A and B are shown apart, each in its own frame.
Chain A
């Protein structure tokens, strides 16, 4: 079983839509969680950390469900510029584990 699993998509949504991605992790002792954004042929960039109580940054909301071992990312009012691949990252002990990424395309 993979450490981190994501639905690869693709998700194609119209501008203004709300879209949510989930990511499950296998190690219940995982300590830190992140969402990264990766544009085509570019390096991943940190979008936001995921805190136990959930956290919001503008149109983006991240949540952690330790009981079910998943993290989620909600994007409200999607913009064309949100089109990218979103990677979830889980830190367990001394190791970071990356999901394969979920592809999002926002359509005009």
Chain B
């Protein structure tokens, strides 16, 4: 079955540590996205990619980095520069960013700073 797989489901990070969240899709979607969800704030866009080897900053990119070396994969690194990383991180993909057909989401990663 096609879908998006995020791992791990839960992640604990120590202060000053970089961590990488995995996102893999087998839907053959061109566009992929990373969102952060905090209580009462809805989803905020961190980064997005419309094609391999290309990505753009979203609204809250500071303290995060991404890569898109393969169509299927869009990992997100939460760096030590991100001062408040505790949140629910959602990866999504869509056929084409401009067609507005809606997203398919992964099941999310809950990141907690300890």
Contact = CB atoms under 8 A, between A and B. Distances in A.
Interface residues of A, number: 22
- Chain B CB count within 10 A is highest, among A41, A49, A87, A100, for A100
A91 interface: yes
Interface residues of B, number: 22
B107 interface: yes
Interface in B64-113: 88, 90, 97-108, 110
A97 B29 CA distance: 19
Contacts of A95: 45
Contacts of A43: 90, 105-108
Contact of A101 (B35, B42, B45, B90): B42
A98 interface: yes
B85 to A, nearest CB: 18
17 contacts: A31-B100, A32-B99, A34-B102, A41-B110, A42-B108, A43-B105, A43-B108, A46-B102, A87-B42, A89-B102, A89-B103, A91-B100, A93-B98, A94-B97, A94-B98, A100-B40, A100-B41
